[in-house]
């Protein structure tokens, strides 16, 4: 049996939480019942997982956390982000963690989830080649509460692309297992606060009614499955890549085709005009694919990538569709 790892993402800047006039407030060190959130998550994590790791974004933060966690008998694996990567943000933390924990099941959580029920997360099934995700009826996903199987595959060259969002690996994944949060809450009569993350200071004072965690029963998940991605060394791909792209599109791996085009453009194997044409078409196909799967969150990001990487006169129509999807998922629309 493979080791199960709880991976805590603790590299964010907590911009919405900050006091404009005060010093930086690290949400990982906020206290719940006189215990820092990070330390509480680690202690609870060892009840359900073989290992606990913490992903950080700087040596300074690593040293600070080590001082706080040093007195603990069970030491988490503390990961410093690989500075050679071009990827940024939360994706850097996710990929670094996967690299450090190869051949293991990895359950990710963000450190600003102090009320998360780890027993519930531990009950979700691991897809050895895929990702288990929590989602809502409206199509909104929880990408930072995802579980990656021990045989999850992605080409390592992805870490050299200008990407940052957590949805990148989800969109290339051939197997996705979806657990509906609304159904979980309704079936088990659970308080919704257990999925709440801390964005502003008032979130810490949320009312927390009790419930029986051990009795939680997960409703049957939904499976989205495509053919496995071929094992590819992107650095060896030359100008003649049409056959590979044809196979990827045939197997509905539209987003990976886009990443391939982005890699070729970045390495001067594809000119800007050709990149824009090819990338736009596969992102359009990806957008429609996720809509058909009722995955509004991923359809939204396909549209956003079209605008960011493939500007066209029709962008105003795309912006309207983005606003429509955001409204459907309860996300406040904003100008990109």
Q: What CATH code is carried by the domain that includes residue 162?
A: 3.90.550.10
Lowest mean pLDDT segment, chosen from 179-193, 203-217, 230-244: 230-244
Distance CA 199, CA 197 (A): 6
183 with 252, same domain: the answer is no
Where b means 16+ CB within 10 Å and e means fewer, 232-266 reads: bebeebeeebeeebeebbeebbbbbbbbbbbbbbe
Q: β-strand 4-9 against 31-32: which pairing, if any?
A: unpaired
Regarding whether 99 and 218 lie in a shared domain, the answer is yes
Q: 245 and 184 in one domain?
A: no
Q: Each residue of 107-141: pLDDT tens digit?
A: 999 999 999 999 999 999 989 999 999 999 999 99
Q: Is residue 64 part of a domain?
A: yes
124 and 257 together in one domain: no
Q: Is 126 exposed, middle or buried (0-12, 13-18, 19+ CB in 10 A)?
A: buried
Task: Give yes or no: residues 62 and 99 share one domain.
Answer: yes
Alpha-carbon distances, residue 231 vs 88, 113, 126, 248, 252 (angstroms): 24, 35, 21, 12, 16
**pLDDT computed for residue 128 by the predictor:** 92
Of 175, 201, 225, which one is at a domain's C-terminal end?
A: 225
203 and 75 belong to one structural domain: yes
Same domain? 300 vs 324: yes
Q: Assess whether 138 and 282 both reside in one domain.
A: no
Q: Which two tokens stand for residue 336?
A: 């990109």
pLDDT at position 211, please? 92
Span 7-22, pLDDT tens digits: 999 876 666 666 666 6
Per-residue pLDDT, 15:
60
Query: Of 171, 191, 225, which residue is a domain's last?
Result: 225
pLDDT given for residue 17 in this prediction: 60
Give a yes or no: residue 152 inside a domain: yes
Question: Is residue 35 pLDDT above 70, yes or no?
Answer: yes
| Phi, psi (rounded to 5 degrees) for 114 | -70, -20
pLDDT digits (tens, 9 = 90+) for 297-307: 999 999 999 99
Residue 1: per-residue pLDDT? 43
Residue 184 has what pLDDT?
96
Q: In this structure, are 167 and 244 located in the same domain?
A: no
Per the domain annotation, does 20 fall within a domain?
Answer: yes
**Do 190 and 78 lie in a common domain?**
yes
> Is the model's pLDDT at 148 over the cut of 90?
yes
Share of the chain above pLDDT 70, in %: 89
73-82, 184-193, 249-258, 310-319: lowest mean pLDDT where? Answer: 73-82
Whether residue 175 contacts residue 130, with contact meaning beta carbons closer than 8 Å, is answered with yes
* For residue 242, pLDDT beyond 90: no
Residue 336 is predicted with a pLDDT of: 36
Write down how long the chain is: 336
Instruction: Tell me how many domains the chain contains.
Output: 2
Residues 20-29: tens digit of each pLDDT: 666 777 788 8
Confirm whether 336 is domain-assigned: no
Judge if 177 and 298 occupy the same domain. no
Instruction: Please give the average per-residue pLDDT across 257-278, as a whole number.
Output: 92
Same-domain pairing of 220 and 258: no
Decide if 335 is inside a domain.
Answer: no
Range of the domain at 35: 4-225
Does 334 fall in a domain? no
Instruction: Give 57 or 216, the one with higher predicted confidence.
Output: 216
Domain boundary among 192, 225, 258: 225
């Amino acid at each position: 049996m493979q080791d199960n790892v709880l991976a805590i993402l603790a590299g964010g800047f907590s911009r919405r939480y900050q006091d404009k006039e005060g010093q930086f407030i690290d949400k990982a060190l906020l206290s719940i019942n006189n215990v820092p959130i990070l330390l509480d998550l680690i202690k609870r994590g060892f009840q359900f997982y073989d290992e606990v790791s913490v992903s950080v974004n700087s040596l300074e933060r690593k040293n600070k956390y080590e001082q706080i966690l040093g007195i603990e008998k069970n030491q988490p694996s503390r990961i410093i982000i690989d500075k050679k990567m071009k990827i940024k943000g939360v994706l850097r933390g996710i990929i670094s963690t996967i690299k450090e924990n190869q051949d293991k099941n990895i359950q990710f959580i963000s450190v600003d989830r102090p009320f998360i029920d780890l027993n519930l997360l531990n009950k979700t099934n691991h897809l050895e080649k895929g990702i288990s995700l929590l989602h809502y009826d409206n199509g909104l996903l929880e990408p930072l509460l995802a579980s990656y199987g021990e045989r999850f595959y992605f080409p390592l060259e992805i870490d050299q692309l200008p990407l940052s969002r957590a949805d990148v690996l989800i969109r290339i994944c051939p197997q996705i297992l979806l657990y509906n949060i609304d159904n979980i809450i309704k079936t088990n009569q659970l308080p919704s606060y257990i999925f709440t993350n801390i964005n502003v200071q008032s979130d810490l004072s949320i009312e927390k009614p009790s419930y029986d965690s051990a009795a939680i029963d997960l409703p049957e998940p939904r499976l989205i499955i495509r053919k496995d991605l071929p094992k590819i060394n992107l650095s060896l791909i030359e100008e003649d890549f049409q056959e590979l792209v044809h196979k990827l599109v045939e197997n509905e791996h539209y987003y990976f085709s886009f990443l391939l085009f982005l890699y070729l453009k970045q390495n001067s194997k594809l000119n800007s005009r050709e990149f824009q044409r090819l990338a736009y078409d596969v992102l359009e196909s990806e957008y429609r694919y996720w809509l058909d799967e009722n995955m509004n969150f991923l359809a939204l990001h396909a549209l956003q990538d079209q605008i960011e990487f493939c500007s066209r006169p029709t962008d105003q129509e795309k912006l309207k569709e983005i606003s429509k999807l955001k409204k459907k998922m309860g996300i406040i629309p904003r100008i990109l």
